[in-house]
Structure 1
Amino acid sequence: MLDVHRLRVFRSVVASGSVQAAAANLGYTPSAISQHLTALQRETGLTLLARAGRGLRPTAAGHALAAEADRVLARIGAAESLIADLRTGRTGALSIAYFASVGAAWMPLVVRRILTELPGVRLDLELREHIPDSREERADVQVVVAGNGFDPGSGFTTHHLLDDPYVAVLPTGHRLAGQEEVDLADLADERWVDNDFARGWCRANLIEACTAAGFSPAFRVEAHDYPTALAFVAAGIGLTVLPALGAAHLPDGVTRVRVVRPTPIRSIHVVVHDAVEHTPAVRTAVAALWEAANSASEQ
């Protein structure tokens, strides 16, 4: 079995580039560092470091082990933080991942509720558009956009939160701005502002709806995100079509109109790690997300 302390020493040598620097950083003698490195190479049966001038550089095997050591030490650090939380009476940690428009519209209220009801919880929030392939990298709770028949993977449960219809956001002086709804086909000849540089599921959903309406939008401007696209619309450059949640907070000078025939819709789900599903923090987070989704559906 690998010695974790030796992994820490090895990682310090790789990061600093020499035994002497690692010794200074860790407060050890150079001979103690060398002994740990020798023991680690003996344990692994691998040559992990090679001389490079007056310093050391990792071999190919050393690079691979250093990358894995980062993941191992991160997990150990998380476990140590959890132990510290429990020892001091805090109720543990909760990791939540979410995509950008949910972050702006829902997460402040969700976080406020969690910290109000469970002030001892330590929150780890991450902006993430996709679900990681590795189970170890996944959050306790993640808000995602997914299609019908979505499978969250073994050990995880998904709950549908909201169907989020798309809207057209137009300058207030636009010829269609006063209408309650607009056929998607009526926007075909307009100047479009793209709002999804990542070319993700939400954009693909929009393009599919436009294809069903008989056209392909001609994007004149490509923006990286919803707020930037909305700013372009406010400047009178064109229109953008995006999920209603992304248009929850509009700048001055624009208005939104429902898109129909067809109406693109994205489905928002919350994915929960089964191992922590019944903890107070996760139950509170999911309840807060349900409340936010219900409020959004009533608007």
Structure 2
Amino acid sequence: MLDVHRLRIFRSVVASGSVAAAASNLGYTPSAVSQHVTALQRETGLTLLERAGRGVRPTAAGLEVAAQADRVLARLGEAEAVVADLRSGRTGRLSIAYFASVGAAWLPRVVRRLTADFPGVRLDLTLSEQIADDPDARPDLQVAVAQTGFRAGAGFVAHHLLDDPYRAVVPADHPRAAAAEVDLADLATERWIDNDFARGWCRRNLLEACTAAGFSPRFDVEAHDYPTAIAMVRAGVGITVLPALGAVDLPPGTASVSVVRPEPVRSIFVVVRDAVARTPAARAAVESLQDAVAAGRPGAGPRRTLPTAGVPAATP
């Protein structure tokens, strides 16, 4: 039987790179840490660490044991969280998945209401771009992008939240910065900044619209997310095109313009598991999302911020 305490100490040694550093982090003496690691090696019958300069590094067997220890300790952490919930009177749990721009724009409102109105419910929040194929792997609620007419599948219901049109984010001194809209084809010769490292549905939707407009955008720079791409725009590197929800709070020196002819649009849904759909917390979460949409629909008009004198290049 492996000792969980020794697994924790061993993982600290692996993460720290030395027995002395692990001892300092844990508040133990180096001798005590060494004794626990030696005991773990005796229990497993494996050599888990080897010397590396002034420190240590895991052997191949040590790496595998460390990976298994991570899983054990994570599961133990979940069990400890449940026990803590029960002790404090929290007996419910609601899991919510969301994608990045929703996390910034809508999720704070949802979490604020749920924590205020349902202090007995633990919220499990997960960043996720895709709806899992396996129904058992899905959270209780998931805010997701899907095509119009999306069906949630057996055991789930989908509520349409928003049709989110795309906008071109350009430097504030760009010739089209003050325009209400721009034809997608007119952006064909621009220097494009990619903003979707995951190559997800939102990017594919944009590329499909560009194809319909008769061109394929040339991505000169690849950014991994919307904020980095917008920072690149502010620095004068090029333009980026993204859903309006990602362009709500633009920094000084940038502007956003509606993209039309064709107008790429993504549809946003909240998918709710039937088993929790009628619970007060789940209903409040859906209502809060709908309120957030109603309170600040993006894309209602040109959004821009005026340049300031000597605006420096943004750091990505």
TM, length-normalised to structure 2: 0.70
Distance verdict in 2 for CA 1:160–1:118, change over 3 Å: same
How far apart are 1:273 and its partner, in Å? 1.5
Q: 2:121 maps to which residue?
A: 121
Q: How many residues align?
A: 288
Q: 2:212 maps to which residue?
A: 212
2:139 aligned with 1:159: no
How far apart are 1:89 and its partner, in Å? 2.2
Q: 2:201 maps to which residue?
A: 201
2:173 aligned with 1:173: yes
Determine the C-alpha separation between the residues in 1 that align with 2:283 and 2:220. Answer: 45
When the two chains are superposed, the root-mean-square deviation of aligned CA atoms in Å is 4.3
How far apart are 1:68 and its partner, in Å? 11
Instruction: Give the partner amino acid of 2:215.
Output: F
Q: Deviations over 1:70-104 (max 9, x none)?
A: 98997797577446535532252221111111111
Q: How does 1:83-98 map to 2 (within 5 A)?
A: 85-86=85-86, 88-98=88-98
Q: Is the 8 A contact 1:82 1:92 kept in 2?
A: no
Instruction: Give the partner amino acid of 2:112.
Output: R
Determine the C-alpha separation between the residues in 2 that align with 1:276 and 1:74. Answer: 26
Instruction: Give the partner amino acid of 2:186.
Output: D
Q: 2:226 maps to which residue?
A: 226
Tell which deviates more after alignment, 205-214 or 282-291: 282-291
TM, length-normalised to structure 1: 0.74
Q: Deviations over 1:98-157 (max 9, x none)?
A: 111111111122211211222332222111111233334321111110112323232222
Secondary structure of the corresponding residue to residue 297 of structure 1: coil
Q: Is the 8 A contact 1:85 1:91 kept in 2?
A: yes
Tell which deviates more after alignment, 81-90 or 144-153: 81-90
Distance verdict in 2 for CA 1:69–1:278, change over 3 Å: farther
Gaps of 5+ in 2: 14-66, 301-316
Secondary structure of the corresponding residue to residue 199 of structure 1: coil
How far apart are 1:297 and its partner, in Å? 2.2
Secondary structure of the corresponding residue to residue 276 of structure 1: coil
Q: Is the 8 A contact 1:164 1:268 kept in 2?
A: yes
Determine the C-alpha separation between the residues in 1 that align with 2:114 and 2:273. Answer: 17
Q: Is the 8 A contact 1:167 1:243 kept in 2?
A: yes
Q: Is the 8 A contact 1:82 1:93 kept in 2?
A: no
Secondary structure of the corresponding residue to residue 142 of structure 2: strand
Distance verdict in 2 for CA 1:172–1:144, change over 3 Å: same
Q: Deviations over 1:150-203 (max 9, x none)?
A: 232322221111100000111011011111111111111111111111110000
Distance verdict in 2 for CA 1:70–1:155, change over 3 Å: farther
Determine the C-alpha separation between the residues in 2 that align with 1:72 and 1:131. Answer: 27
Distance verdict in 2 for CA 1:72–1:284, change over 3 Å: farther
Q: Deviations over 1:244-290 (max 9, x none)?
A: 00001111100011111111000001111211222222122111111
Q: 1:130 maps to which residue?
A: 130
Tell which deviates more after alignment, 240-249 or 134-143: 134-143
Distance verdict in 2 for CA 1:79–1:140, change over 3 Å: farther
Determine the C-alpha separation between the residues in 1 that align with 2:95 and 2:75. Answer: 13
Percent identical? 65
Distance verdict in 2 for CA 1:75–1:142, change over 3 Å: farther
Instruction: Give the partner amino acid of 2:153.
Output: G
Determine the C-alpha separation between the residues in 2 that align with 1:218 and 1:247. Answer: 21
